[in-house]
Structure 1
Amino acid sequence: MRSNASDCDVLIVGAGIAGISMAAHLQDKCANLSFMMVERRAQPGGTWDLFRYPGVRSDSDMQTLGFAFEPWDDDQSIAPGGSILEYLRGVIHKRGIADHIRTSTTVISADWQGDQACWLVSVEGPDGPEKVRARWLYMSTGYYDYDHPYDAQITGLESFAGTLVHPQFWPENLDYADKRVVVIGSGATAVTLVPAMAEQAGHVTMLQRTPTWMSVGPSRDRLARVLRRILPRKLAYWLVRQRNIRLFDFLYHAARRNPHMAAEKLSEGVRKELGDLYSPEDFTPPYNPWEQRLCLVPDSDLFKSIRQGKASIVTAKIDTVQTDGIALEGGEVLPADIIVTATGLKLSLGGHIKVSIEGRPVNWGEEFFYRGCMISNVPNLTFVFGYLNASFTLRADNTAAYSCRVLNHLRTSGTQIAIARPPADGLVEGEPFPFSSGYLMRDLAQVPKSTDALPWRLNHDYLADCRDFRRNGVDDGHLQFELAPRVTDQSPVADQPEMA
């Protein structure tokens, strides 16, 4: 194994939205630091390079899913996956980030070396295994398992004689023209797949055990189009971005304060779309709006498919899968040539990377989130965990900017280690998520803990986080800045390993 083949100040793991954001922030705010980005896939893009199912699109508006520093100029605010991927690769090309990316390279483990104040990272790429030393580890790996989606343990699935597909591993050139398709699931993926497949399929049935709250909205933003005509592109983008952030923040908090009113509004919207085809049992979840993520139906595409008879929704539990369809508990059988198991994600923090501190494995579930991006007692590491009620990119940009502030403070203070240390009297665990989504509840034990107050809270309030970052500096007493252990009173800082 090659050792110290590549050293850098910051190692970014993952070349999706979060990794690209961090690279751009380093260029703008920490130009003196070297960085490397490793990506296990053959191409950058993260989620948007992985998912290739029909109709794949953003479930947030592109004025907030787009980066703060790079305007989204397309007319479509709810954009197809291919356009998003093109946008991300455009940012990479424009900023020369590609020179820092090593694709087809998997991070196996990362061990904190206290005496050297660096991470010793084991990676495996096209040239075999090697070691990389980095002063800072930036985990932009997302929070779901790329390799193993959630297995809903559907009885009899192995007996199905037709084509079985999971959206996370969509086969190239799947022929579903004139086929009977059953999509199992009710989340954003199912809501996207059904109308997209209905354009060619014989019929598509969305089979759900539990309904999801849905909201109709346009896929194109008229205000954005108008402002781009009369204002500089960056100003137009900023204005629409701010409008969207505040509007959706208001709607979210209004729904949480008055769930009954929100439920009535959402139900009224769906009733208006479907008329006599509306069935309360198919569109009334057993939880309040925004206790799980709301599903956007852009341009009413799902409801149009239902009105046209190309798609339908069935709310029932599965008894067993048969060779030619799905038998429901009530006795009905849904015939199927293709079954799509859009049953959800499986949570995975850190992309299966074995993280340790001087050989001692880090158990994420035993630690606490700090300022939404660092982990208690884990030095020189930031982790991007997106907002569950807003665009992923909002947290990614905030985390990248904060990480750069910490890195700059290390340089100016002459220290090498930044570590969030809980107070001596400990922390009181609070509710980590104000949501009841299945993928969160199933794997809650592996998620770092959260208190009920900042800075030890995994907040899901973007505007509140922005205020916190503005008002409170990085040297807040909770985040400790330290010298490497081998630095003594007789050893000047200049003699120690420093960031470039």
Structure 2
Amino acid sequence: MAAHNEIPDFDVIIVGAGISGINFAYRMQESNPELSYCILEARHEIGGTWSLFQYPGIRSDSDLYTFGFAWRPWTGKNTIVHGAIIRQYLEDSAAQEGIDRRIRFCHKVNKLNWSSSSNMWTFDITTQDTEMMSLRSGFVFLGTGYYDYQEPLQADIPGIHNFKGKVVHPQFWPGDLDYTDKSVVIIGSGATAITLLPSLTRAAHVTMLQRSPTYIASLPSQGAFETILSKILPCFAANRVIRFKWMLFSFFMVSICRLFPRAAKFFLLRETAKLLPPDFDLEPDFVPSYSPWEQRLCFCPDGDFYACIRSGKGSINTGTIETITASSIKLTSGKELYPDIIVTATGLKLCTAGGITITIDGEPYEIPKHFAWRAAMVEGLPNLVLSWGYVDASWTLGADSTAQLACRLLTQMRKESVSVIVPRMMAEERQTLEERPFLALKATYVKKGGNAFPKAASAGPWQPRSYFWRDLAIARWGDIKGGLEWLK
């Protein structure tokens, strides 16, 4: 893909050895085996999120049947599993396909520069021993996730600096933190807080302090349908049917919530009431102010979150923090909590491209100022694909549709002897299209960090991601010429 007889180190370089990077490596080996590639991973092991996060109870918030790879189906009995099991699954998947041999660990990419004269990307890399090195490739796939690995979201919590006890953020959970017989307050109401509450069983008491409630649905850790099907069908057939069932479940659940929000809210709150102690009032702790799936629906396996509340080991307080003193949390309602440990489970700091500095011919390039093409490439950015998953389904499904689209682009580039592909939005399009949010969620951390993502528009290849089957159909058979400039 390079011009002027300059030879790249690799045809393709993948950044990130998490779900997105490993899946893309497999798809490329499947569709484009003639291309050379390597994976650059900043951490010491495979896993991405599942290597970084070590807080108690860390687990998937999607079913493993769709969160796992299509090419290596999840065969475990549990629908939702611990993070260490997910990381091992990723490691085993990479080893099975020989992908692990292509990974260069402790290689942190600091900067990417595109050269129009050579039609190549140059990577400025820091290795484990802090030495600098560079690599070159004709094509880049960024499987870097959507949040900042180095810095958590700094929530505005008044007086938090006054607290004399321990303050912990789940993203950097201390391995030696002793919470035995301590009073713990978790600030937040998202998936992390809902996971932590039932997991800190050695604490004297755990309180989840939230500004507003979240929808929390119980999901069986082992489904009867999956158990029966695994016994009566051959393994490969059972795996396919089970995966398809969970894809349908996710699609219909989200669709029903958005089409019939009142009915969905009634159903979810009715199921919540069944899991709480008798005569427990749902107000104010369990009735969200928003409709289902305006924010991500949280799951708890076998209702463990509600079981913790029934046991008396955990509780919820809904209110606004007035200030935090040296030993307490004062709420505007007048109530006061006295924790030994505060956990700030207030969300993630959103980040695109893993915080890598990107330049084109030495000139700075800012992704948030440009529109995304097929939710995979960004206008004006040559030969580079970013992987994003779904916010209303498993991440892996979105990453896979992106990977298959990228492989199709690579195949077509070689077929047409094209060196460069770059998205371009026509001037008339820019004047007529309406801007849309890239992520359709109203969560606080998305509102705060949504400007880290590229822009989306109301029509054409600039629309935000929709749902898996449509995106997969576009990836395999849709138009890949509209909005994309092909240069020989």
Which bracket does the TM-score occupy, shorter chain normalised? over 0.9
Residue 369 (str. 1) matches residue 372 (str. 2): yes
Tell me, in whole angstroms, the C-alpha distance in 1 between the residues paired with 2:179 and 2:7.
48
Aligned twin of 1:255: 257
Look up the equivalent residue of 1:429 and give its one-letter code: E
Aligned twin of 2:465: 459
Aligned twin of 1:430: 435
1:460 CA drift (Å): 3.1
1:454 CA drift (Å): 3.9
Aligned twin of 2:381: 378
Residue 335 (str. 1) matches residue 338 (str. 2): yes
Tell me, in whole angstroms, the C-alpha distance in 2 between the residues paired with 1:190 and 1:225.
30
Tell me, in whole angstroms, the C-alpha distance in 2 between the residues paired with 1:69 and 1:473.
25
Aligned twin of 1:60: 62
Aligned twin of 1:213: 215
Counterpart selection for 2:205 from 203, 207, 210: 203
Report if the CA contact (8 A) 1:5-1:131 is conserved: no
Report if the CA contact (8 A) 1:395-1:462 is conserved: yes
Structure 2, unaligned runs of 5 or more: 1-5
1:303 CA drift (Å): 0.5
Q: Identity of aligned pairs, percent?
A: 40
Report if the CA contact (8 A) 1:37-1:101 is conserved: yes
Residue 168 (str. 1) matches residue 156 (str. 2): no
SS of residue in 1 equivalent to 2:353: coil
Aligned twin of 1:20: 22
Map Cα deviations across residues 253-311 of structure 1 (whole Å, 9 max, x no partner): 11111111111111111111113223321111221111010111211101111111110
Map Cα deviations across residues 37-69 of structure 1 (whole Å, 9 max, x no partner): 111111110000011111111100001100111
1:100-139 equivalences under 5 Å are 100-126=102-128, 128-139=131-142
1:225-236 equivalences under 5 Å are 225-236=227-238
Aligned twin of 2:41: 39
1:5 CA drift (Å): 11
Tell me, in whole angstroms, the C-alpha distance in 2 between the residues paired with 1:121 and 1:404.
21
SS of residue in 2 equivalent to 1:265: helix
Aligned twin of 1:494: none
> Relative to structure 2, which stretch is displaced further, 124-133 or 166-175?
124-133
Residue 481 (str. 1) matches residue 476 (str. 2): no
Equivalent pairs counted in the alignment come to 478
SS of residue in 2 equivalent to 1:12: strand
What's the TM-score, normalizing by structure 1? Answer: 0.93
Aligned twin of 2:322: 319
Look up the equivalent residue of 2:98 and give its one-letter code: G
RMSD: 1.6
Map Cα deviations across residues 135-192 of structure 1 (whole Å, 9 max, x no partner): 1111110011111111112122122222211100011132111111100000000000
Aligned twin of 1:414: 417
Tell me, in whole angstroms, the C-alpha distance in 1 between the residues paired with 2:178 and 2:65.
34
Look up the equivalent residue of 2:470 and give its one-letter code: A
Report if the CA contact (8 A) 1:25-1:404 is conserved: yes
> Relative to structure 2, which stretch is displaced further, 365-374 or 60-69?
365-374
Aligned twin of 1:487: none
Q: Indicate how the Cα distance of structure 1 residues 5 and 282 shifts in structure 2: closer, same or farther if over 3 A, else same.
A: farther
Tell me, in whole angstroms, the C-alpha distance in 2 between the residues paired with 1:174 and 1:443.
29
Tell me, in whole angstroms, the C-alpha distance in 1 between the residues paired with 2:154 and 2:298.
22
Q: Indicate how the Cα distance of structure 1 residues 57 and 278 shifts in structure 2: closer, same or farther if over 3 A, else same.
A: farther
Report if the CA contact (8 A) 1:5-1:132 is conserved: no
Structure 1, unaligned runs of 5 or more: 484-500
Residue 188 (str. 1) matches residue 191 (str. 2): yes
Map Cα deviations across residues 389-423 of structure 1 (whole Å, 9 max, x no partner): 01000011111111111111111111111112213
Map Cα deviations across residues 212-267 of structure 1 (whole Å, 9 max, x no partner): 11111112233223323333333222211111111211111111111111111111
1:446 CA drift (Å): 2.7
Tell me, in whole angstroms, the C-alpha distance in 2 between the residues paired with 1:141 and 1:226.
38
Q: After the TM superposition, which parts of structure 1 deviate over 4 Å for at least 4 consecutive aligned residues?
A: none
What's the TM-score, normalizing by structure 2? Answer: 0.95
Counterpart selection for 1:444 from 450, 462, 465: 450
SS of residue in 2 equivalent to 1:28: helix
Counterpart selection for 2:348 from 345, 350, 353: 345
